[in-house]
Amino acid sequence: MSSQEVEVLVVGGGQAGLAMSEHLSEGGVPHLVLERSRIAERWRSERWDSLVANGPAWHDRFPGLEFVDLDPDAFAGKEQVADYFVAYAEKINAPIRTGVEVTSVTRHADRPGFRAQASDGTTIDARYVVAATGPFQRPVIPPIVPENAGPRQIHSSAYRNPDQLPEGAVVVIGAGSSGVQIADELHRSGRRVYLSVGPHDRPPRRYRGRDFCWWLGVLGLWDAETPPQGAEHVTIAVSGARGGHTVDFRELGRRGITLVGLTAAYDDGILRFAPDLAGNIANGDANYLSLLDAADAYIARNGLDLPEEPEARELGADPDCLTNPVLELDLAEAGVTSIVWATGFAADYGWLKVDAFDERGRPRQRRGVSTEPGVYFLGLPWLSRRGSSFIWGVWHDARYVADHIAISRGYLAYDQSA
């Protein structure tokens, strides 16, 4: 069994691991990135075929590299995003080893630093460890419908395309960016679709000539440091599909998707929904309109010459499913053969055996600096701000973490010279 010493071990070779590598290299800090599969693997094998980035190419990228052969206002396909990160790794000459999983990390008992065990049998001793294993690690399916209930049940991370599902109607549960896009794709392929809609934000795709990514940027909302009160889990429904469009639940309903409230329970073939559909849609509308208001105020305050767009405030007629909500669905009677759970992800740090987690297994950290000295986290939702789990945001968080490591190394260097 071989062993190796590195100053910093970065676990995970997605965008977070690469951003970390770039900043460490810039500071001259020796490091190694271990990726259990391929660079940016989740973009290749844990996303559906037609997925494009939610933000335009000018925005959803790192500062040091633009997408090649892509209009900056276009939305990169998932493979283009993965290719972008492969190119990025080459550009920064990242010391990355792929196909190697870190199976455990423990703190040394009698000296600083950590020992990592890797799946290729190597042992790595590192002074610092950065966990860059992703914001969305383990698919979560709430235990509502028993496995043997009948319909095929998959998580959105396992959904690829409509042909993968048996013929028949589909219930899509969760109406964040994933659920709403998957429901739309299934409906366009000719399926009967039920979409279970919970609380959500739904910014306009574009308003007065600017993409919502731009609006969130100039309004300081990407930089918001804490989630709005009570909104820690509110998902954001946006789509770059077919050139990008505002997610409009009424329009989906009018086109024939049956919107239902939160999926509450299942019993004996019947799926039951909370009577909260109208409220969830109204709150989403309020969020949408508040962004228009903020954008208008910004334009007025800064004297910008951007075209008026009063029609953006027309919400359109309520579809029947909104005025007469379905509260229960007999799955067999409705011909439902599949359920797609777009219900999010949990973290899984089973390999990181250090004192850096709360009683629910969540990292105890501030801006990525954990309570276990020498251990850092990157890429987590709201790590430092709203943008933290997104492509552009993680790059800035990685710079902060690299800086923290540099400061720590400075003190240790003084000790040694003394």
Ligand X SMILES: Cc1cc2nc3c(=O)[nH]c(=O)nc-3n(C[C@H](O)[C@H](O)[C@H](O)COP(=O)(O)OP(=O)(O)OC[C@H]3O[C@@H](n4cnc5c(N)ncnc54)[C@H](O)[C@@H]3O)c2cc1C
When the beta carbons of 313 and 353 are compared against ligand X, the nearer one is 353
Identify the residue among 6, 12, 195, 252 touching ligand X (CB under 6 A): 12
> Nearest 10 degrees: CA dihedral of 366, 117, 127, 355?
40
Identify the residue among 16, 20, 126, 329 touching ligand X (CB under 6 A): 16
Output the smallest distance, CB 104 to ligand X, in A: 9
Identify the residue among 391, 398, 401, 405 touching ligand X (CB under 6 A): 391
When the beta carbons of 22 and 41 are compared against ligand X, the nearer one is 41
# residues contacting ligand X (CB under 6 A): 33
The DSSP string of 383-410 is SSSGGGGSHHHHHHHHHHHHHHHHHHHH
> Nearest 10 degrees: CA dihedral of 65, 69, 75, 76?
-70
* Residue showing tokens 């055996």: 353
CA 101 to CA 12: how far, in whole Å? 8
Q: Which stretch binds ligand X (CB under 6 A): 31-39, 208-216, 277-285, 286-294?
A: 31-39
**If we measure between CA atoms, which residue out of 25, 26, 28, 39 comes closest to residue 89?**
39
E strands, 291-367, in order: 328-330, 336-341, 345-346, 352-353, 365-366
Output the smallest distance, CB 65 to ligand X, in A: 15
Residue 269 gets the label, from left (phi > 0), alpha (psi -120 to 50) or beta, of: left
Q: Which stretch binds ligand X (CB under 6 A): 23-31, 106-114, 162-170, 389-397?
A: 389-397
CA 172 to chain centroid, in Å, comes to 18
When the beta carbons of 336 and 391 are compared against ligand X, the nearer one is 391
| DSSP for residue 233 | T
CB atoms within 10 A of CB 273: 23
Which residues, 305 to 364, sit near ligand X by CB under 6 A?
Answer: 351
When the beta carbons of 60 and 211 are compared against ligand X, the nearer one is 60
Output the smallest distance, CB 334 to ligand X, in A: 27
Q: Which stretch binds ligand X (CB under 6 A): 2-10, 30-38, 140-148, 207-215?
A: 30-38
Identify the residue among 9, 62, 88, 134 touching ligand X (CB under 6 A): 134
Burial of 21 (0-12, 13-18, 19+ CB in 10 A): buried
When the beta carbons of 155 and 187 are compared against ligand X, the nearer one is 155
Tokens of 396: 């800035």
Identify the residue among 21, 80, 153, 178 touching ligand X (CB under 6 A): 178
CA 341 to CA 159: how far, in whole Å? 9
Counting other chains too, the contacts that 99-104 makes at CB distance below 8 Å and 24 or more residues apart are 99/35, 99/36, 99/37, 99/38, 100/34, 100/35, 100/36, 101/34, 101/36, 102/9, 102/11, 102/34, 102/36, 102/351, 103/351, 104/351, 104/352, 104/353
Output the smallest distance, CB 96 to ligand X, in A: 10
Q: Does 135 bind ligand X (CB under 6 A)?
A: yes
Identify the residue among 29, 74, 89, 102 touching ligand X (CB under 6 A): 102
Tokens of 214: 């731009």
CA 238 to CA 177: how far, in whole Å? 5
When the beta carbons of 150 and 381 are compared against ligand X, the nearer one is 381
Which residues, 57 to 96, sit near ligand X by CB under 6 A?
Answer: 60
When the beta carbons of 144 and 394 are compared against ligand X, the nearer one is 394
Q: Which stretch binds ligand X (CB under 6 A): 131-139, 216-224, 243-251, 400-408?
A: 131-139
Question: x/- site string to ligand X, residues 38 to 57, per CB under 6 A?
Answer: ---xxx---x-----xxx--
Q: Which residues bind ligand X (CB under 6 A)?
A: 11-17, 34-37, 41-43, 47, 53-55, 60, 101-102, 132-136, 178, 351, 379, 389-391, 394
